[in-house]
Structure 1
C-alpha cells in the first residue's frame, strides 16, 4: 500500500510553528516510506479567510523544501485540492448519511440553540443538542425543506456503548458514546464543517496517515464514527503534542511568539528552522541533532515521536543556526549576507567578502551582521578601559607604548595585506620583548573601538586599509595620553 499523507491548512493567516511541524512530519512520514505528500487547502470556514494567506502557504512550502506531489498549483489525480472547489460533493455525502439514518436535518434557530445553554444551569456551559429535530417525521422535514427553511445536517451519534480508536502516539483511546454531541456536518450556508469535509476528502484522496495536533483527539471518535457510517476504512492517526512557549503555555502569536516568517525575518536560516522543528517531538535513535532535509527523509521513523509537549527554545534554535552558518559553503553564506553587509556599510570601499569571511564562524543570526560591522564604517566612541585585559596582560600604559611603537612600523610598510601586516607586527613583538597579546590586543581595540570584534588586529587592519588603520591607532594614542 502506498503511503499518502496530506497537509491541509486553512488560509487564515501566518504559518505558525505548530502548523509547520505538522507539515514537516507529514512530509517525512510519506517520504521516508516512498509515499506521496499532498497539499490541500481547507477554506470552508469562509469567515476566517485572510487575503494572501494561501500565498504564504505556497511560499513556506517552497522555502522549506517540503515539495508536495499533488496540490492546487500542480494538480493530481484526486483534485480539485481546494475544498471550496469541491462543494458539490459534500451535500450529496451528507444526504447519503441521512438516508442511512446516520444523520438528520436540523431546523433549530440560533435563539433556540442559545436557550439550550441557558437551560444548562450556569448558562455559560456547553449544552448538548437535545435532538429536537431528530424526532421530526419525514413529512415534516420535507415540508420545511419545501418551505425553504434554513437547515443544518447533524451526525447522529450512538446513544450507548463506546468508540475506540488507535493513535500512533497516544495508543488506544476509548470514549463513552453518550458524551458525544450530534455535530453539524453541513452548515446553513451550504458549506461543510471542517470535521465533515476533512473525512470525506481524506477518504476520496486515499489518505493513509492523518497527522494533526493533539487538540483534535477529542474529535477523532466522531471522525471514526463517520468512517463507520460510510463503511470506509479509517486512516492511521498520528496526533502530535503541543509546542509550548514554557511549561504552562502553548505557543501563541497573540502572546508575541514567533511564526515561521518572523524567524526568517529575524535572520534565522530556513534549513536551521526546519532542522530544529523536526526535533520538537521527535528523537532520532542515535541522538544526532544536525540534519539536512534529505537526511531527515532517510532517518525519520514514526516510532520516534513523543507524547510529551515540546518547549520551543529560541536559544537552542539560535545555537543551531550558528552551527549551520559555520558549516555552510562560503559562497552560499556570502549570497545570504551580502545585502545586509551592503546596507550596513554603504558608501565604503571595504572588501565585503573579507568581512563576511570573518563573520561566518561568529554569527548567530544574519540579523547580527549590522551591529557587528558598523565599527568598520565609523569608529565608535569608547573608553580606555577596553585596553585593559587580564588574559592579554595589558593595561593603559602597556597599550599606549604598544600603539606608539606600532604606528611608525606600519607607516613604513609599502605592501599592505594580512601576511605582511602579520609578519611586521609579530617581528615588532620580538623587538619589544613582550607577549603577542600585549601588542595585538591594543591594536585590535584601537581599530574597532569595541570590546569584541569579528576578527583580530591583523584582519581588521587589512580590511580597513593602511590610511584608516593608522588614523585609528593615532586616535587610540590620543585617548590613552589624556
Structure 2
C-alpha cells in the first residue's frame, strides 16, 4: 500500500435509514479519494450492539450502489486490510488497549455503576460536564492483577493529562486548542469487551491506512482525544475534515428523529437519485461559477475539500424541487417515460389514452415524480368540480361568458372530422376572432370543462387531444349543464 495513496473511509453504524448528513459524509469521502485517484473504503461500525437495526447494512449497500458511490474495499467485496466489520475485529482492540495500559496512556477502571452515578449526579448539581475523577488510575499493580484474576468487571480508560493544552489541525476550522483539564478519560474498552466507537475508529483508521477522515463538526470536541491516542501509539495523524451541520432552518438541525427526510424517503417521494446527490454535494461546499448541476463524474473532477464552508448548510426543499425538475427536463423522453409509468398505474385505466402524450406534457411541468398521480387523474375521468373555477380574474371569465363560449364551441368541435391539436387550436382561435373576444374567454372555460381542475399540465388543446373527441364532447356538455343549472 503506497504511503502517498489517498485512502478515505465511510464508516456508518447500521442503525436505520441513510440520513442526509450520512450521505453527504459518504459523498465527500468518495470525492476526496476519487479526485486524487485514491481508494474509497466502506467499513461497518457495529460496536454499539444495542442500537443495531436489522436490514440497515443492506440499506447502506443499496444506497451506495444507487448513488454510484462504489467502494473499492468493504465487507461485501473484501480487500487487503479486512475484516471491514468492526464486530469481526473485536479481538484486536483489547490488545491495542493493553498496549496503552503498559505505556501509561490508559488504565483499568473497576468503578461500579453506582459510584459513577454519584459522580454524574455531583457534576449535575455543580452544573459541570461529567468528567471521571481518575479514581482507578493509581490502583496498586497487585490489586489490579487480583481483580482481573477474580474476573471483576472492568473498562479500560484513556489516561489524559490534566494540565497543558492539546492542539490539532482541521482543514476547515484550522488550529484548535483544548485545555487538557476539560478532557475526560474516555472509555476505550467497554465492560462487554467491545471497543467504544471512539477507540475502534482510531485503531481501524490506522490499520486501514486512512489518510483523510471526513465527519460532522459535532466530532470536533472529540478530536483532541483521538489525537492523543495517535500520539500515544506513535502513529501518523490523518487529515481531519469536519463538515458543517445540515440545518432544517436557522435554529434546528436536520434530524430523522424530527421526521426529516432520509435519502430513502426522498426517493420514495419521487426525487431523482442523481438530483438528490447533486443537491447534497452543495450543502456546505460551493463550486466556482454559476452552474449548480453536476454529474458525479464532474463532481469528482472539481471537488476541493479545502473550500468546504464552516457555516451551517440549510436544507432548502424549494431548491431541491427546482434541481429535481431540472434533472427531469434534461432527461431523454424515453427515460422520463419509463420513470413516470409506475405513477400512471391505477390512475390511468382508460386504454384509449396515449400515455406517451401525457409524458411529453409532463416533462417540462413536473418537478417531483410523486406529484404525477394527482396531476393526471382527470385524464382518466372527469372529477367532481365546483363551477367557481370557471371564474378567472386574469382571463376575465365568469359563469355567464363561460357558458356562451362553451355553447358556441360545442357545435364547432362536434363538426371536426380530423381531431388533433392543430384542428382544435385553429377552430378555437377562429371562434375567439369571430366572437371578438380575447383568447382566454374561449380557452379558459374549455380547459375547465375538459379537466374539472384549476391547474393542469397543458392547456385545452393538449387535454382535448389526449382524451379524444367523444370524451371531450361529453365533458363540454357536462360543463354547459352545470353552468345552466347555476344560472337558472
- Alignment-derived partner of residue 384 in structure 1: 387
Distance between the aligned counterparts of 1:400 and 1:425, measured in 2? 15
Q: TM-score, normalised by structure 2?
A: 0.95
Deviation at 1:275, TM superposition (A): 1.2
Bigger mean CA offset, 193-202 vs 439-448: 439-448
Choose which of 335, 339, 352 in structure 1 pairs with 2:338: 335
Distance between the aligned counterparts of 1:183 and 1:244, measured in 2? 29
- Alignment-derived partner of residue 113 in structure 2: 110
Residues 61-107 of structure 1: CA deviation (Å, up to 9, x unaligned): 11111111111111111111100111121111111111212111111
Bigger mean CA offset, 365-374 vs 38-47: 365-374
Choose which of 207, 232, 235 in structure 2 pairs with 1:204: 207
Q: Is the 8 A contact 2:392 2:398 kept in 1?
A: yes
Distance between the aligned counterparts of 2:210 and 2:17, measured in 1? 25
May I ask how many residue pairs the two structures share in their alignment? 482
Distance between the aligned counterparts of 1:358 and 1:310, measured in 2? 35
Q: Is the 8 A contact 2:172 2:307 kept in 1?
A: no
Structure 2: unaligned runs, 5 residues or longer: none
Q: Is the 8 A contact 1:117 1:125 kept in 2?
A: no
Choose which of 31, 35, 40 in structure 1 pairs with 2:34: 31
Q: Is the 8 A contact 1:348 1:377 kept in 2?
A: no
- Alignment-derived partner of residue 308 in structure 2: 305
Choose which of 447, 466, 470 in structure 2 pairs with 1:467: 470
- Alignment-derived partner of residue 429 in structure 2: 426
Q: Is the 8 A contact 1:403 1:443 kept in 2?
A: yes
Choose which of 407, 414, 418 in structure 2 pairs with 1:411: 414
Distance between the aligned counterparts of 1:60 and 1:210, measured in 2? 21
Q: Is the 8 A contact 1:155 1:184 kept in 2?
A: yes
Distance between the aligned counterparts of 1:121 and 1:459, measured in 2? 69
2:353 paired with 1:350: yes
Deviation at 1:265, TM superposition (A): 1.5
Q: Would the alpha carbon gap of residues 193 and 121 (structure 1) be closer, same or farther in structure 2, given more than 3 Å must change? A: closer
- Aligned pairs for 1:94-133 (under 5 A) are 94-120=97-123, 122=125, 125-133=128-136
Deviation at 1:436, TM superposition (A): 3.0
- Alignment-derived partner of residue 139 in structure 2: 136
- Aligned pairs for 1:207-356 (under 5 A) are 207-356=210-359
**SS of 1:135's equivalent?**
coil
Bigger mean CA offset, 340-349 vs 370-379: 340-349
Cα RMSD over matched residues? Answer: 1.7
Q: Is the 8 A contact 2:106 2:159 kept in 1?
A: yes
